[in-house]
């Protein structure tokens, strides 16, 4: 079983986000709504599903996660209620 440090993963997500902004333009330039992001996520998840190799699936999954992060960057984060109650 392969395990990777969480901070290493976060760094890779940030690098993917930077790449997406360079390819598609900044969030300010694009301004998609939440449901637009959901449609993009659905398309990206299909790419994970249909990827042939483990490496391709993981690469596509990183793209899915980075798209989700982009949506949260643009529209904000709402903390899970259970976490808010603990703090």
Assigned domain for 49 exists: yes
**pLDDT tens-digit series, residues 30-45:** 888 999 999 999 999 9
Assigned domain for 1 exists: no
The more confidently predicted of residues 47 and 3 is 47
- Residue range of the domain that includes 23: 6-86
53 DSSP 8-state letter: S
| Nearest-angstrom CA–CA distance, 55 and 61 | 10
| Total domains present in the chain | 1
Assigned domain for 27 exists: yes
Assigned domain for 60 exists: yes
| Nearest-angstrom CA–CA distance, 11 and 33 | 26
What is the pLDDT, as a whole number, of residue 85?
75
In whole numbers, what is the pLDDT of the chain averaged over residues? 93
Assigned domain for 46 exists: yes
Are the C-beta atoms of 43 and 32 separated by less than 8 Å? no
């Amino acid at each position: 079983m392969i395990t990777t440090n969480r901070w290493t993963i976060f760094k890779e997500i940030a690098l993917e986000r930077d790449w997406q902004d360079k390819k598609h333009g900044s969030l300010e330039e694009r301004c998609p709504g939440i449901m637009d992001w959901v449609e993009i996520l659905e398309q990206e998840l299909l790419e994970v599903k249909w990827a042939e190799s483990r490496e391709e699936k993981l690469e596509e999954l990183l793209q899915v996660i980075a798209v989700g992060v982009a949506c949260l960057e643009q529209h904000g984060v709402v903390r899970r209620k259970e976490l808010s109650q603990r703090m």
